Amino acid sequence: MKIAAVAVVVLLGALCPCLMAQVSTPINILWQAAANWTGDLPCGGWDCDCVFRNSKGCCCVAVPLFQLEETTFMRMVDLWKDLNSLSNKIQEITARRNVAFAASLTQITGCFGPFNKNVSISYCNVTLNQGYGYNQALGTFTAPRAGLYSFSYTVYSNVGAEGERIYYKVQLMKDGQVIASSWEDNREDSEDSATQTVLLQLKQGNQVYMELVLGRFLCADTQGYNSFSGYLVYPMSDI
């Protein structure tokens, strides 16, 4: 009977040992009986000496609580490492998404061209170059990563007097391949312009640039109307 009573007290102490001092008188009697017990108490994994002989507190669960605290802390550390790694990857991806450029020709008071071969156009007035893909010295954009890109260009020429021949042709090139072109050949208009926009799938390292076709020329652009721009629409795995 006494062992059964002790077992009851142990169970109650396991569930809420901190409230032992506030329970009813019969429970206090059981607690006193357990405290006066000589020999081993049937405690299982609990520290009954702490509960019944030293204090009425919750020290019987101190070791399991410490172990739980340690396990929780280590899991939080691991989660923090995972979150930090994920944050770095997101930052790397989003930073590399910022690829865009915009450039125009410097002032042309006379004419650019004609030449005896196709010539790459260097748009030296750079107003935007995120990702540093555009080389103003060469007029060439080199894709810093694979993805879908949008490119736009405007060609403009003004030959001045009526009856003069306006005669230009420019081409959007990708690694030496003609992608798009705009041209004009007439004596009716002394001033003319054209604009095109194209979408291109590029691998990392592909080059896109504009060139003036041999024998053609661009004249009197003092406002930077001749322009070339592009940006990364979205990245892709290497094509």
Backbone angles phi, psi at 213, to 5 degrees: -75, 145
Domain total of the chain? 2
Do residues 12 and 109 both lie within one domain? no
CA 28 to CA 150: how far, in whole Å? 82
| CATH code for the domain in which residue 116 is found | 2.60.120.40
Q: How confident is the model at residue 67 (pLDDT cuts 50, 70, 90)?
A: confident
133 vs 67, residue with greater confidence: 133
Q: Where are the beta strands (DSSP E) in 46-137?
A: 100-104, 111-112, 119-120, 125-130, 134-135
- Residues 139, 72 within the same domain: no
Distance CA 229, CA 107 (A): 18
Q: What is the DSSP string of 1-46?
A: -HHHHHHHHHHHHHH-GGGGGGS-HHHHHHHHHHHT--S----TTS
Dihedral, CA atoms, 6, 12, 16, 22, nearest 10 degrees?
Answer: -80
pLDDT of res. 1: 47
User: Are residues 61 and 173 located together in one domain of the fold?
Assistant: no
Range of the domain at 154: 98-235
Among candidate residues 97, 126, 151, the one where a domain is terminated: 97
Note whether 138 and 211 are same-domain residues.
Answer: yes
pLDDT at 23: 46
pLDDT at res. 194: 93
Residues 18 and 120 in one domain: no
Comparing CA positions, the residue from 65, 1, 70, 80 lying closest to residue 33 is 1
pLDDT in tens, 130-163: 999 999 999 999 999 999 999 999 999 998 877 7
Pair 136, 124: CB distance under 8 Å = yes
Query: For the whole model, what pTM was predicted?
Result: 0.60
Average per-residue pLDDT in the chain?
80
Task: Please give the Cα distance from 178 to 80 (Å, whole number).
Answer: 50
**Which band of pLDDT confidence, cut at 50, 70 and 90, is reported for residue 3?**
very low
Give residue-wise pLDDT tens across range 110-133: 889 899 999 999 999 999 999 999
Q: What percent of the chain has pLDDT over 90?
A: 41
Same domain, 126 and 63: no
Do residues 160 and 57 both lie within one domain? no
Last residue of a domain, one of 81, 97, 113: 97
Query: Which residues fall within 8 angstroms of residue 50, CB to CB, at 6 or more apart?
Result: 57, 59, 60, 62
